[in-house]
Every structure is written in C-alpha cells, then in structure tokens.
A and B are shown apart, each in its own frame.
Chain A
Amino acid sequence: MEAPIRAREILGFTLLFLLFFVCSSSPSHNLLISDAERRIDLTSHIVKVYLTLKVENADSTPTSEILLAFPPNHVDHLATVEALVTKGKRKKTTLARLDVKPTELPDAPNGTKYFTIYLANPLNSGESTTLEVLYLFTHSLEPFPAEIGQSESQLVYYRDSALILSPYHIKQQTTFIKTPSTKVESFTRVEPTNRAGTEMKYGPYEERPPYSFSPILIHFENNSPFPVVEELVREVEISHWGNLQVTEQYTLVHGGARHKGVFSRVDYQSRPSLNGASSLRYLLARLPPRVHSVYYRDEIGNISSSHLRTDSRKSELEIEPRYPLFGGWKATFVIGYGLPLQDFLFESSDDRRYLNFTFGCPLLDTVVDKLTVKVVLPEGSKDPSAVVPFPVEQHLETKYSYLDVVGRTVVVIEKKNLVPVHNSPFQVYYTFKPIFMLAEPLMLASAFFLFFVACVAYLHTDLSIRK
C-alpha cells in the first residue's frame, strides 16, 4: 500500500514543477488568493467540498471573473458547483449567490478544466472579497478491496490533492478532511499533516504558486450504503380534471464494494451490525404534501414493504427493496402517486399556464446517474417551454394515452449526474384552451349515440329477401 503512494507522490511533485513552469504564462495571474480553507466531507458517498477563498486583486484593472480549476478526472464526477459571496461588514454579513459557468481556456495545462465565477460587482484593484464555494463529487470513493464478503466492512479510497488546484498564487491554505469513522487504514502525509478523531488536517501550506498539486490518497472505512440510481424516468402527467400523476421508474444499484460469495440469511438476521453493515435496507423518499394513491411495485407486482407518513408539509415514503441490496446488487421498481393539480399548476401573467414542480430525485441522499423528466401536457396544449435552473438537454415527444386522437405533447428534460442539491423547482409553460377538456367525453358520447342509432336502425330494417 505504501509503495504506490510514494510513486504517486513523486509523480505529483514532478507534475507540480511542470505546472509551475507552464503556468507562468497563464493569463489570469493578476489575482491572488490570500487565504484558502477547504473542508472535504467524506461521510456519505457524495463527497462535499466547502471552499472558502479570500481573493485579492493585485492587478491594476478591475475584474469580475474568478477561475476555479479542477483536474480533468475530477470534472467527470463533478455534480454541481455553487459560489456565494459574503456581503456587508462583519456581523451583518449576507450571502449572495453568484453565477458559475464552465469555461474553456486555450492553454490549460494538462487538460485542467475551469469554472468561472462571475462577481456581481467587479473587484477593483487592491480590493479583496471572500467567496464561499461548494462543490459535490459523485462516484469519487473507490472501494478497495473492490469485492467484500458479507461480514466485512467497506473500505474506500479517496484521491485528491493536498494543495488546492488553482490558477492563482495562494498565500496560505489549509485542508480539513472528515471521515465517517476513526477507522482510517492509511493516508498520504504531506507535512504538516495531523489526524485527530475523524478529522485530518493538511496544512497550513504557505506561498504556493499557481497549479500546485500534491496527490494524496486516503484509505478509510465507509460503511454507509451507496445508493445509486442508474436511471430514473419521471413522468409527470397533467390532467386538467384536477390531478397530477407522477410515475417514477428507478433502476437502483448499490454502488459500493461488490458483494462476493455467500449471502447467509441467518447471519444477516441474527447479527445485523456485523453482517451486511453496508447493505442497503431501506430508502426514504420525500414526496410533496397531499399526495394520494401512492403505489410501489416492480415488473412482477406490488412490493408490500413500504410505509407512507403524511403531514401538512411533506409526505415521507419509506420503501424497502424486495431484498437487501449488497454491493453491486440491483433492483428496479416504480413509484407512482397522484397530487392535487392546484398545488402545482398556475397561470402566468401572459395568460399561459405553467407547471411548477421539483426537479431531481425524491429519494434522500441518492446519486442519479441519468434523469429523464417527462412532462406530459394535456392534449391540445401548445407552445411548451421549460425553464430549468441549470443546463439540461430537452426535446419534445408525442404520447398517446386514453382515447387520444392528436396525442399529447411531452416535454422531455434530461440531465446526468444529479445529487440532492438539484431538487429545485422548474417550470414548464404552455397554452391550453379549456374546451379541449371536453373533447374526449364528447367523443365517447357521440360514439355511444351512433352505436345506439345504428342499433335502432338495424332493428327497424327488414333485410330478409323473402316477404
């Protein structure tokens, strides 16, 4: 275990020097970070990083763009980046959200990826500001050993750099890493490094040039289950008769260390804390209030192990998969429920209607690899448009449901790599004439009418040849 780490360190330092030389020509050298503090939370399978940056403009011209740098392999797992700026003087500080956008730079060293934070007010020469940055990584804990038996606990690797990767010169920086338990098998030392309880402290490091990088590897126990929804399809069907029907199809997998060998029910039942500690026993879904007709089933029928608790503010659905999920085990299921339409459908000022619904996955503490939201608008609605607070892919489809003639417009929104942070409201605007609501009842009525007329006509017609 030690040998690879040392090799990585050497590699890292080479990289560091390489970067140092490359970045001397970097364009954004006019800023510097006077103080940086990073807190990495490894307690669940979603890695949360809180970064506090004190940025100082050392250049003569004002700037409103600050770059964040990420190693290329981290960017693939990056679920979200948020930046806040602290405003006001001490005590009366408020936080304001800032725009963050991915940016391509032409001469990025070693494929470094960037995100740009756009400040609301340009930072004048000599001024400084404090930024709070939060970003989340998914699939960044690599189980090692990759396969464990039922009674073993789950150990994972976490890879990062002891130094914050940044295109700017950092005067002083510290990194705190929090592990779920005190059981840490090994970790890379980059002096000064301290470990106390569940927390590790790297730093403080001083006067590090831009693109400094020092790889670290932490091997620790994380027995929390890793619920990963590989694919989630949420279908939201609007009926102007007063119901909003939501159907969610899940493909769930335990993303932790793969289970190997025997699964013994007797061990699992008699000593649950020792056996299958990292198994996924149940999930909690937070549904909107006033939910009704909830069902939980899979392709072979109803799954009886679920509980619904409702109160005036929220509904909680506790579901158990048919069998406890060990690492690598999969399950598929469907959750469906109805909601009162008036809670979610509103009329906008320009006479259009809009649906205001929550994006993301209602299961708590879950990573969604691919989410497809399908909003099925009523038959006859026009000009659909979706407003989502983050970049997504979207297109339109047509769906035929109960007795449709022209079909219903479906707004399909797709996004990859979601975390619970993405559970924010989104809107779908469309125009709809209420007369279309009557189309199907009228069609049915006229069909029956014609049928009876035909019957009457038949009974009153004599078709016999002989009189």
Chain B
Amino acid sequence: MAAPETSTAAVPTLYTNNALRNAFGGVLAFFILLLIGVMAFSIRLFSVIKYESVIHEFDPYFNYRVTQFLAKNGIYEFWNWFDDRTWYPLGRVIGGTVYPGLTLTAGTIWWLLNSLNIPLSVETVCVFTAPIFSAFASWATYLLTKEVKGTGAGLTAAALLAMVPSYISRSVAGSYDNEAVAIFALIFTFYLYIKTLNTGSLFYATLNSIAYFYMVCSWGGYTFIINLIPMHVLLCIVTGRFSSRLYIAYAPLVVLGTLLAALVPVVGFNAVMTSEHFASFLVFIILHVVAFVYYIKGILTPKMFKVAVTLVVSVGLALCCAVIAVLIALVASSPTKGWSGRSLSLLDPTYASKYIPIIASVSEHQPPTWPSYFMDINVLAFLVPAGIIACFSPLSDASSFVVLYIATSVYFSGVMVRLMLVFAPAACITSGIALSQAFDVFTRSIKFQLPGISSNTEVDAAETSSAPAEAQNGAVKTEKSEETSKNRPSKKSKKKEKEEKPLTKAKAEKKRLLALPLDSSVISLLLLILLGAFYVVHCVWAAAEAYSAPSIVLTSRSHDGLHVFDDFREAYAWLRHNTDVDDKVASWWDYGYQTTAMANRTVIVDNNTWNNTHIATVGTAMSSPEKAAWEIFHSLDVKYVLVVFGGLVGYPSDDINKFLWMVRIGGGVFPHIKEPDYLRDGQYRIDSQATPTMLNCLMYKLSYYRFVETDGKGFDRVRQTEIGKKYFKLTHFEEVFTTHHWMVRIYKLKPPKNRIRGKTKKSKSKTSSTSSRAKRSGTGKKNPWH
C-alpha cells in the first residue's frame, strides 16, 4: 500500500538519494495506515461496547433481512426474490428494487468465513461490515489525497476521515446501511479516476469502471460520481487541460461504466435513459469532438485547419442544434423532466416540500442547520478554505478535481442532511492537504532556524516523522492554521521551488530561505496540535455519546442508575411468538422494516416508500375515526395495529408527534382528510383545546386508551400537557398487548359483527360504555368462529 517511492513527494528529504531513508518512510507510512485502519474500526465499536452487537435503526433491518435471505437461499434466489411479507397485498420485488452492493458484500464475507469454518452468524458479519469498510474508506482517502498532494497530506486526510463524526454517524457497528460501503466505493472510484488521470494507464481506467460498478451496486448516490467526473472533464477541457490522459480517464469509464451499471437490476436502462446520466453522455461527445479537433490540428497545416474549422463548425452547429432540440423535447415531455423525485429535490430544494410530502417527512432529507455542520465535521469546516487555497498552488488536474468535489458537495450537503456524508470525505481531503502543508512549512522553518543542531540526525528523524506523527494524533488544525496557510501559499510555493535546488548544497544558504521566525512557527505548531486534539476529543465524544445509540433500545440515566427501555423488541418478540404467521400488522411506515425483520410478520407499508397511495391509505386510517379506520384496515386484511406511544416515559419520536405527516400524506391522496381539521388555530395540540377531529381520530384513541388510569390525570410527558379526552372506550379495536413502558401498543381488530344482530338491535340509546360491552360479549357468543 505504501510503496517506498511514495514518500519522496511529501517528506522533502535532505538527501534525495538516500534509499534507506525512503524505505524507512515507506514502512512508517504503512504502519501509520495500519493504525489508522485500526482506529477507524475501533472508534466505531462504542455501540457494541455500550449497548450490544445489534443491528441499528430502521433501514439496516431491511438490509439485514435481505442478507439473511441471501445467506440462506443463495444468489439466484435472491435476484428472483418476491417478498410477500411487505406492502401487503402488493408485495415487493426485492431482487429488482434493491441496491445489492451492501448485501452481496456482507453475504460474500459471511460465505468466505463459513467456508473457512469460522461460524460467525449473519448478524455479526452485518454488524461489523460498516466499521471494516470505514477502515477501507480511510485507506482509499489516503490513496486519493496522495495522488493529489503527496503522502503527508494523504496520511493526514486518512486520519481525519477515520474519525470524522459525519461518517461515524452512518457507519458505527450495527449501522448496516448502504452508505457504509458506498462511501468507500465513492472515494475509491475518485482515487482510480485521479490515478488514471495522472498515469494515463488503461489498467487503472478499467479498474475505475469496476469501482464505479461497485458504487452503482451500493448506493443511489452513484449519480454524484457520474455527474461530478463529467463536470471535471468539462472543466479540464475548458481550461485548456485536455490531454490523452484525460481521454483515457473518462472515455472507458463512460462506456464500460454505463454497460456495467445497466447490469444492476435496480438501475437497468435508467443508466442510459434518465436525466441524471445525461451529462456524462454529453461530455462524452464533447470530449470526442475536442479529441478529434486536436487530432486534425496535428495532421493539418494551420491554414488548412482554419478552413476545416469553419466548415465543421457551420455544419456541426446545425446538426447539434437539431439533436439538442429533439433531446429537450423528449425530456420536457416527461412530467418530472426525466429526473427522479429525489434528484429533483436536490436541484430545487423546495420541490419535495411542495409536491412529495413523503420525501419531505423524512428527517434526513431536511436541510441541515449550522450547528449540525459543527457537530458533523467540527474544525474541518475552518480548514476547508485553507485546503482549497492549497489546492490552487499549484493547480493540477487532480487538485482541480478536489476543488470541484468540495464545491459541489457543499451545495448538496446544504440541501439534505444526509448528503453531509458525501461532503465529509471532501472536507477531510482538503483539510488534510491544508494541515499537511501547514506542518510542512512550520517544521521546515523550525529546522532551518535551529543552527546548532542542524547537523544532528535527531532533526532528520523528527522531520521524517512529522507528517506521520500528526496523522497519528488524528488531526491537527486551528483557525490560525487556516490564516497562516492562507497567507502563506505564494511564499511557500516559491520557497519550495527554491528549496529543490539549494537543499543539497550548504546549510548556510538554507537559513536565508526561511520565511517564518522560530517562535511563531513553534507556537503555530502547538496551536495546530491543540486543534487536532480538540478534533479528536470531539470525534470520540460524538462516536461514544451522540451516534452509538442503536435506537431500538433506549437507555436513560437517573439517580438510581441506568434504566433500559427495550420496549420495541418486547413488542416485536411478542408479535413473533404469539400471533399467527400470516397475520398482517399495520403501523406507520417507519416501523415496517423492523416489524418484518424482528417480528417476521406481514406489514402493509414499510420504509421503502415506493407507493404513496398505500402509505396514504394507512395515514388516512390513522387519521379517521374508529369506525372508518376499522373499515379501511379490515379491507386491507389487517389483524393487528401497532402504535408507538412515548407519553408515559417521554419518548419524543412517537406516533403522535409524527401524526401531522400522516394527515398530510393521507390528505394528499384522500382529500376528505384536511390538515386544518386537526389544528386549533394553526397549532397542533392534544390537550382539551384540541379539535374534536383530533380527539376522535384513531391515532389519538389508540395512543391514549386507558392512559388516564396510570396517573389519574393523563399527563403526557412528551407534549407536557394533560390529554384532552381522558375516558373513552374502543368499539372496534381491543388492546392485546402493551409493552412495559407503554412505548408500543398493539391492538387487534374486533371481528366483524353479525349482520342480523346489528339490524335487530335498536336499543342503542344506552350509554356508549355499556353498549360497547354488550356488543363485545355479544360478538363473542354469536361468532364462534372468532
């Protein structure tokens, strides 16, 4: 990985032909990388140590279930898998609608381990896939940054990436999601692109297509690659940097990459038909035109060339206009302009909230707040500008790519919190460059400024290890470094150029080249280390406290020790063991994946939000009064309804807090559900001021059924208020299970009433409580089949 020759670039050696020293640097770099990998892996184990080895959150449960299926039934069954446990009664074709990269990766690891007779369970493999791949991602970052700015920057960037909180949030042990492998694939694809660009080797170009294929397999975010690389190619052409290397880097990627991408069932013909891929083909054509022009220029005399240009331009323009007009007409004919909803909401951040409430309802699709930048990339935010400036001195093909990468990803991260994940590697790379350059300057100044020990070997040793040491410390930076490196670049580059020649001569000359005084560079160095320490502390805190909770088991610390809330699994285990295998469970879509994976029961909707109408049906049922809801659920063959209720223990992300989204999504399809009916003067409330529609809807009733009997008042600890309607009976549902802390409540639909009885019974003028009781017992007798 760290081949000996790599160390020459970043660590300016005093003795250029000292092979032994280069070898030492290589070995050191290798061990630093190894340690970075270990750190990247181990910082993500807080969740296992603090909680347990378990799959986290929602989507990972689906991936886990798919992996289980793959491990059990093999790859062919997997491609043909039609899942009838979800989206009842529609079902879902899993093999054709899932990005298979993560599943296949974990499945392969599991298969490999088992064929070596290492009996790890599928779950264990899934839990640890993300930490393993984050170690790979930090190594890929090293490679990429090394191609851009040398080994020192590479090591620093790798160390920064290994613990950047934004990436940790998606790759802690147990967070078994597509992003876990996709970020590695993303960085590695970029590395291979830069590598091809630097070497012009077809070998790397082919590897690049394969890496791109892996990325396509893994994550929908591959469209970022297939748009960013064309943009960079275009940038290179426009700035007059066209070369045969650029051609080799790009043309095979488009041809091979598109062919390979079309092999992935979920992408298929989208790889050539949707607007997301359009830019790559356009740039492909432009690249060929440019290459052709350069070729013609080479074989014609300048005079002939001018003639040819006028000829071609006049004919070519006409043709191009015609082609582009046809394309535009085609694209415009589709309602979304050929873009998928998610891509469109990236280009127009207000799109989703206007037209697709489902996408807007997901918290990770919201735009981030400023504190979340500080939380997720911490001091990197200040180092990024310095890094960008460092990229411009000197500007190469590779460094221009980094600049473009960071510029685009900053925009995307500003639109969606989730895409902070794409931004984090770019931030790490630029910050790594900035830090490494700053360290370079400071350590060199110190070294030249100390005349007494300049001949000592200690200085050499210290210098060799400077970049690595900082890398090992994790990260290093201050606002100061930002300033210093901002002020410095011109001087530094000059100095660097000068250094090359005179270094080997005399020490006396070196002293004259120094730009920084000794004390200021020492202080800056200390400040940089301090900044790095701050970053490390923040990252460890974020990994340990903020991002390691698995969200299916909650803990709270009170004066009498740690309290565990394991209600979700209690409910899922109950469903798994005490209901019929074919029973259908309705819940809001957030819990769909978990129910199918943990309870092994059929659900109506799940987190793969592909059918808006179906979700709206469930939303409508939840927002309707009991009888209407019963009818909707009964028509869907639902037997149990599951609601999440946090009012007893103060768990804020419960169904009552999500309820407005159910109303909105339901109302989007079924207009009789109107959001204002649930709001009192535009305010969402559940206390005595709440609207009657709100107090009679199914969600309210299922959440607060008999809640008042717990404390006598019905005080909701999430909403910090007493509930509006305290005593009521359920007529069409019966409580069959409530977990220990009331966080999950499961109700069963009562069987349909006997029709004849319903007609003859006219004495409904009793109070509702007695009549409901009578009805219940009546159905029990009359309906022996239930």
User: For the complex, what is the distance from the CA of A270 to the CA of B598, rounded to whole Å?
Assistant: 29
Q: Please indicate the chain B residues that have their CB under 8 angstroms from the CB of A328 in the complex.
A: 578
User: For the complex, what is the distance from the CA of A331 to the CA of B576, rounded to whole Å?
Assistant: 9
Q: How near does chain A come to B731, taking the closest CB pair, in angstroms?
A: 14
Q: Is B569 in the interface zone, CB < 8 Å from A?
A: yes
Q: Determine if B566 and A323 form an interchain contact, defined as CB atoms under 8 angstroms apart.
A: no
Q: Is B734 in the interface zone, CB < 8 Å from A?
A: yes
The interface stretch among A127-135, A260-268, A351-359, A365-373 is A260-268
Please judge, given known A-B contacts A300-B573, A322-B566, A331-B573, whether A264 and B739 are in contact too, CB under 8 Å: no
Q: Determine if B574 and A301 form an interchain contact, defined as CB atoms under 8 angstroms apart.
A: no
Q: Is B553 in the interface zone, CB < 8 Å from A?
A: yes
Query: Which A residues lie at the B interface, using CB under 8 A?
Result: 261-266, 270, 298, 300-305, 322-323, 328-332, 400-405
Q: Is B560 in the interface zone, CB < 8 Å from A?
A: no
Q: Determine if B737 and A323 form an interchain contact, defined as CB atoms under 8 angstroms apart.
A: yes
Q: A266-B706, A329-B577 are in contact. List 6 more A-B contacts (CB 8 A).
A: A262-B735, A263-B736, A300-B598, A301-B52, A304-B553, A323-B740
Q: Is B572 in the interface zone, CB < 8 Å from A?
A: yes
Query: Which B residues lie at the A interface, using CB under 8 A?
Result: 52, 54, 116-119, 552-553, 564, 566, 569-570, 572-574, 576-578, 598, 706, 709-710, 734-740, 742
Q: Determine if B735 and A263 form an interchain contact, defined as CB atoms under 8 angstroms apart.
A: yes
Provide a sorted-by-A list of 17 A–B residue pairs whose CB atoms are within 8 angstroms. Answer: A261-B734, A263-B737, A263-B738, A264-B738, A265-B735, A270-B709, A300-B576, A301-B54, A301-B553, A304-B566, A322-B570, A323-B740, A329-B578, A400-B117, A402-B118, A404-B117, A405-B117
User: For the complex, what is the distance from the CA of A400 to the CA of B54, rounded to whole Å?
Assistant: 25
User: For the complex, what is the distance from the CA of A322 to the CA of B569, rounded to whole Å?
Assistant: 8
Consensus secondary structure, chain B interface: mixed
Q: How near does chain A come to B45, taking the closest CB pair, in angstroms?
A: 16
Q: Which residue of chain A has its CB nearest to the CB of B706? A: A266
Q: Please indicate the chain A residues that have their CB under 8 angstroms from the CB of B735 in the complex.
A: 262-265
Interface centre among B564, B569, B577 (most CB of A within 10 A): B577
Partner of A402, one of B119, B552, B564: B119
Interface centre among A302, A303, A331, A404 (most CB of B within 10 A): A302
Q: Please indicate the chain A residues that have their CB under 8 angstroms from the CB of B706 in the complex.
A: 264, 266
User: For the complex, what is the distance from the CA of A5 to the CA of B560, rounded to whole Å?
Assistant: 57
Q: How near does chain A come to B785, taking the closest CB pair, in angstroms?
A: 14
Q: Determine if B54 and A265 form an interchain contact, defined as CB atoms under 8 angstroms apart.
A: no
Q: Please indicate the chain B residues that have their CB under 8 angstroms from the CB of A305 in the complex.
A: 566
Counting from the closest, the 9 A-B pairs by CB-CB distance are A265-B738, A330-B577, A301-B54, A302-B52, A304-B564, A322-B570, A400-B117, A322-B573, A300-B598
Q: Determine if A403 and B54 form an interchain contact, defined as CB atoms under 8 angstroms apart.
A: no
Q: Which residue of chain B has its CB nearest to the CB of A321? A: B573
Q: Determine if B710 and A262 form an interchain contact, defined as CB atoms under 8 angstroms apart.
A: no
Consensus secondary structure, chain A interface: loop
Q: Determine if A303 and B566 form an interchain contact, defined as CB atoms under 8 angstroms apart.
A: yes
Q: How near does chain A come to B702, taking the closest CB pair, in angstroms?
A: 13
Q: Determine if B553 and A323 form an interchain contact, defined as CB atoms under 8 angstroms apart.
A: no
Q: Determine if A402 and B574 form an interchain contact, defined as CB atoms under 8 angstroms apart.
A: no
Q: Determine if A266 and B553 form an interchain contact, defined as CB atoms under 8 angstroms apart.
A: no
Q: Please indicate the chain B residues that have their CB under 8 angstroms from the CB of A302 in the complex.
A: 52, 54
User: For the complex, what is the distance from the CA of A300 to the CA of B60, rounded to whole Å?
Assistant: 13
Q: Please indicate the chain B residues that have their CB under 8 angstroms from the CB of A301 in the complex.
A: 52, 54, 552-553, 569
User: For the complex, what is the distance from the CA of A264 to the CA of B738, rounded to whole Å?
Assistant: 7
Please judge, given known A-B contacts A300-B572, A304-B564, A403-B116, whether A265 and B577 are in contact too, CB under 8 Å: no
Q: Determine if B737 and A266 form an interchain contact, defined as CB atoms under 8 angstroms apart.
A: no
User: For the complex, what is the distance from the CA of A300 to the CA of B552, rounded to whole Å?
Assistant: 11
Q: Determine if A400 and B573 form an interchain contact, defined as CB atoms under 8 angstroms apart.
A: no
Q: How near does chain A come to B235, taking the closest CB pair, in angstroms?
A: 35
Q: Which residue of chain B has its CB nearest to the CB of A303? A: B566
Q: Determine if A265 and B739 form an interchain contact, defined as CB atoms under 8 angstroms apart.
A: yes
Q: Please indicate the chain A residues that have their CB under 8 angstroms from the CB of B564 in the complex.
A: 304
Q: Which residue of chain A has its CB nearest to the CB of B734? A: A262
Q: Please indicate the chain B residues that have their CB under 8 angstroms from the CB of A300 in the complex.
A: 54, 569, 572-573, 576, 598
Q: How near does chain A come to B158, taking the closest CB pair, in angstroms?
A: 22
Q: How near does chain A come to B530, taking the closest CB pair, in angstroms?
A: 40
User: For the complex, what is the distance from the CA of A261 to the CA of B356, rounded to whole Å?
Assistant: 41
Q: Which residue of chain B has its CB nearest to the CB of A401? A: B119
Interface centre among A261, A263, A330, A400 (most CB of B within 10 A): A263
User: For the complex, what is the distance from the CA of A261 to the CA of B598, rounded to whole Å?
Assistant: 24
Q: How near does chain B come to A296, taking the closest CB pair, in angstroms?
A: 11
Q: Please indicate the chain A residues that have their CB under 8 angstroms from the CB of B740 in the complex.
A: 265, 323
Q: How near does chain B come to A73, taking the closest CB pair, in angstroms?
A: 29
User: For the complex, what is the distance from the CA of A401 to the CA of B736, rounded to whole Å?
Assistant: 43
Partner of A266, one of B52, B578, B710, B734: B710
Q: Please indicate the chain B residues that have their CB under 8 angstroms from the CB of A304 in the complex.
A: 553, 564, 566
Partner of B574, one of A266, A323, A401, A405: A323
Q: Which residue of chain A has its CB nearest to the CB of B597? A: A300
Q: Please indicate the chain A residues that have their CB under 8 angstroms from the CB of B578 in the complex.
A: 328-330
Please judge, given known A-B contacts A264-B735, A264-B738, whether A400 and B598 are in contact too, CB under 8 Å: no
User: For the complex, what is the distance from the CA of A302 to the CA of B553, rounded to whole Å?
Assistant: 10
User: For the complex, what is the distance from the CA of A392 to the CA of B566, rounded to whole Å?
Assistant: 40
User: For the complex, what is the distance from the CA of A264 to the CA of B564, rounded to whole Å?
Assistant: 22
Partner of B119, one of A263, A270, A298, A400: A400
User: For the complex, what is the distance from the CA of A271 to the CA of B119, rounded to whole Å?
Assistant: 47
Q: Determine if A331 and B738 form an interchain contact, defined as CB atoms under 8 angstroms apart.
A: no
Q: Determine if A332 and B566 form an interchain contact, defined as CB atoms under 8 angstroms apart.
A: no
Q: Please indicate the chain B residues that have their CB under 8 angstroms from the CB of A303 in the complex.
A: 566
Q: Please indicate the chain B residues that have their CB under 8 angstroms from the CB of A261 in the complex.
A: 734
User: For the complex, what is the distance from the CA of A266 to the CA of B739, rounded to whole Å?
Assistant: 10
User: For the complex, what is the distance from the CA of A265 to the CA of B571, rounded to whole Å?
Assistant: 13
Interface centre among A323, A400, A405 (most CB of B within 10 A): A323
User: For the complex, what is the distance from the CA of A402 to the CA of B573, rounded to whole Å?
Assistant: 31
Q: Please indicate the chain A residues that have their CB under 8 angstroms from the CB of B598 in the complex.
A: 300
Q: Please indicate the chain B residues that have their CB under 8 angstroms from the CB of A405 in the complex.
A: 117
Q: How near does chain B come to A306, taking the closest CB pair, in angstroms?
A: 11
Q: How near does chain B come to A79, taking the closest CB pair, in angstroms?
A: 26
Q: Which residue of chain B has its CB nearest to the CB of A298? A: B573
User: For the complex, what is the distance from the CA of A302 to the CA of B576, rounded to whole Å?
Assistant: 16
User: For the complex, what is the distance from the CA of A263 to the CA of B569, rounded to whole Å?
Assistant: 18
